[in-house]
Amino acid sequence: MFKRILISIGSALAMHAVQAAEPVILVFGDSLSAGYGIAANQAWPKLLEQNLAKQGKKYRIVNASVSGETTAGGLTRFPASLKQHQPKWVILALGSNDGLRGLPIASMKQNLGSMIKQAQNAGAKVHLIGMQMPPNYGASYTRQFAAAYPELAKTYKVSLSPFLLEPIIQQNRYFQPDQLHPTAAAQPILLQYILKDFQI
């Protein structure tokens, strides 16, 4: 019995060592990355891990996305996530909830910029994923919101996927009944869109 326990502990330690040796990609977003309404293994971050593994690229995906998160909330959580996971890459996908709440774009940009700087100072590369707002938010707000992400990418010299939902936005069948969150069937499409600009 004692021998079996020792073997079990040894196996667990070995597995932990393997995981620790794998570089981490930290996905830091909201419900669109958390896989709201679908199984966790169907969301695009999990599909990304599988895609990289098929290419022989051994990365461990840590999905720290939280449904409903704003950039201000993310900024509060971000330092602890960086310290805990020490990622090689950070995929930053926040801002949609700022826009849906009509929050100031200047504050959103400041929060995202702060997270990008923190990641870079910690030695991580950053890939930024942008969003866009529907036209009912007003032409000025929607224009400035969409422009915020390319501006940040240029300022901090990071790669960018300008609008996560671009490949499915005109196809209702890829959205859940709330017409906000993508279905499981949409996740591979979103991943392929991200992979056009996120290259390891």
Catalytic residue among 30, 31, 65, 81: 31
Tell me if residue 90 falls in helix, strand or coil.
strand
Contact 30, 67 (CB under 8 A): yes
Angle among Cα 172, 175, 180 to the nearest 5 degrees reads: 110
pLDDT of residue 4: 56
The question of whether 181 is a catalytic residue gets the answer yes
The residues with which 125 forms a beta bridge, in sequence order, are 89
pTM, to two decimals = 0.89
* CATH superfamily placement of domain 23-195: SGNH hydrolase (3.40.50.1110)
pLDDT of residue 21: 79
Q: Provide block-wise average pLDDT over 10 residues at a time, the chain (200 residues).
A: 52 46 96 97 98 96 98 98 98 98 98 98 98 96 98 98 98 96 98 96
Domain boundary assignment for the chain: 23-195
Catalytic residue among 30, 65, 96, 181: 181
pLDDT of residue 10: 47
The question of whether 107 is a catalytic residue gets the answer no
The question of whether 85 is a catalytic residue gets the answer no
pLDDT of residue 136: 93
